[in-house]
Amino acid sequence: MTPVRRIAAEALGAAMLLAIVVGSGVMGQRLAGGNDAIALLGNTIATGAGLVVLIHMFAPLSGAHFNPAVTLALLLRGDIARRDALFYVAAQFGGAVVGVWAAHAMFAEPVLQVSLKLRDGWGQGLAEAIATFGLIGTILTTQRSRPDFTPVAVGLYITSAYWFTASTSFANPAVTVARGLTDSFAGIAPSSIPLFIASQIVGAVVALVVFGWLMQEKSVVPDEFPITIYHNPDCGTSRNALAMIEAAGYVPDVVDYRQSGWTRPLLEQLLITMDASPRDLLREKGTPAAELGLLDEAASDEEILAAMVEHPILVNRPIVVTPKGTKLCRPSEVVLTLLEAAPAQFTKEDGQVVRLGTPEA
């Protein structure tokens, strides 16, 4: 999946989510005869069910964040590159606004609106912090234990949070801003938006700290099974391999070789343990390999090694070193052969669920 398609998928998913949220709010209000409880119930069921479907649809394409708070949590975990995160967040905000306008158009409402519905007070802010805390916790924990259940878990959590939080659980900065542009049942006055977004960010960060700590309880002490991964955070394969290691309970030594660079002795030692040649580790895509003439069959191992030391990006990634051996882990599942333990399954960034089982001996 190309970056442009991933970003487009995030925008489309956010647009569909807001069309569901706002459209069901309009429909609920029209049919409820002034009974807000019935209107909220209709809004709740549509949003929860829609989330389950949308996450299943878009997880294989973009990871189905739809939410800057989710993207922020994954960025802080090192699961998404900063540049990708910025594009994701922009797509989420843009798509959410388009979704609101689409809902207005469907119900023959004025497309351009501003909400007058105030949602102020410390209780509303606390509710948003708690709602977002629970949402991020749901995602982090189910992704580790039962990733195939995450879409359902998220839908069910939001369904419940609509009713147990005073704010009806926005839990999403993009949703919050977009709902400021609808003067309907689902709206929020622009003056109330800063409190909501600040609370959502706090909830997301606290969830990342708390659930990160809880899930580290089973971590394997590094000295017991030392793992080093030579990592490029901008590479999806490298991020997936690192996430698999961490999901298995290990605490690896993560070396960003773009920053640390390579030394010739280190590269030679890795090549010996891998029983590989410099050309086996040479990366062509996104590197100056062609410009330097390294793709020519006449290029010697000496020339390739020297170029790798000068241009660290020429070394393919990720390289993982454990007591069971050293390998270039492409595809990322190769890392499982280097571990003593593994989770039952793992969901890659593109939404592909990998059934892991027990690593090879």
Query: Tell me, what CATH number does 242's domain have?
Result: 3.40.30.10
Q: Residue 347 is inside which H or E element, if any?
A: strand 345-347
Domain identity same for 249 and 155: no
Is 360 a member of any domain? no
Domain identity same for 86 and 15: yes
User: Residue 361's pLDDT is what?
Assistant: 37
Domain identity same for 73 and 138: yes
Of the residues 191, 217, 243, the one at which a domain ends:
217
Amino acid at 34: G
Is 47 a member of any domain? yes
Q: Please state, in angstroms and rounded to a whole number, the distance separating the CA atoms of residues 339 and 248.
A: 8
Q: Residue 255 is inside which H or E element, if any?
A: strand 253-256
Q: Regarding beta strands 353-355 and 345-347, do their DSSP bridges make them parallel or antiparallel, or are they unpaired? A: antiparallel
Domain identity same for 152 and 259: no
Domain identity same for 14 and 151: yes
User: Residue 159's pLDDT is what?
Assistant: 98
User: Residue 360's pLDDT is what?
Assistant: 41
Sheet holding 228-231, edge to edge: 253-256, 228-231, 319-322, 325-328
To the question of pTM greater than 0.75 for the whole model, the response is no
Domain identity same for 194 and 237: no
CATH number, domain with residue 28: 1.20.1080.10
Is 261 a member of any domain? yes
Domain identity same for 156 and 240: no
Domain identity same for 21 and 167: yes
Is 91 a member of any domain? yes
The position carrying tokens 């005869």 is: 33
Sign for the pseudo-dihedral over CA of 145, 151, 154, 160: negative
Q: Which two tokens stand for residue 149?
A: 């259940």
Domain identity same for 101 and 224: no
Of the residues 217, 241, 264, the one at which a domain ends:
217
Out of 39, 186, 235, 281, pick the active-site residue. 235
Is 115 a member of any domain? yes
Report the domain count for the chain.
Answer: 2
Of the residues 195, 217, 239, the one at which a domain ends:
217
Domain identity same for 338 and 260: yes
Q: Which two tokens stand for residue 135?
A: 């949402």
The residues pairing with 345 across neighbouring beta strands, listed in sequence order, are 355
Is 37 a member of any domain? yes
- Which residue range is the domain that position 188 belongs to? 3-217
Q: Residue 120 is inside which H or E element, if any?
A: none
Q: Distance of CA 230 to CAs 97, 144, 263, 318, 328, Å? A: 40, 23, 13, 6, 9
Q: Half-sphere exposure of residue 211, counting CA atoms within 13 Å on the CB side?
A: 23
Q: Distance of CA 333 to CAs 79, 158, 328, Å? A: 16, 32, 11
SS3 of residue 254 by DSSP:
strand
H-state helical runs in the chain: 3-31, 36-62, 68-77, 82-106, 122-145, 150-164, 173-179, 193-215, 236-247, 257-260, 264-274, 278-281, 301-310
Is 137 a member of any domain? yes
Domain identity same for 233 and 338: yes
Is 361 a member of any domain? no
Domain identity same for 245 and 213: no
The residues pairing with 322 across neighbouring beta strands, listed in sequence order, are 325
Residue pLDDT tens, the chain, 361 long = 678 999 999 999 999 999 999 999 999 999 999 999 999 999 999 999 999 999 999 988 898 999 999 999 999 988 788 899 999 999 999 999 999 999 999 999 999 999 999 999 999 999 999 999 999 999 999 887 777 899 999 999 999 999 999 999 999 999 999 999 999 999 999 999 999 999 999 999 999 999 988 887 555 555 678 999 999 998 999 999 998 898 888 889 999 999 889 999 999 999 999 999 999 999 999 999 999 999 999 999 999 999 999 999 999 999 999 999 999 999 999 999 999 887 767 778 777 777 665 444 3
329 is catalytic: no
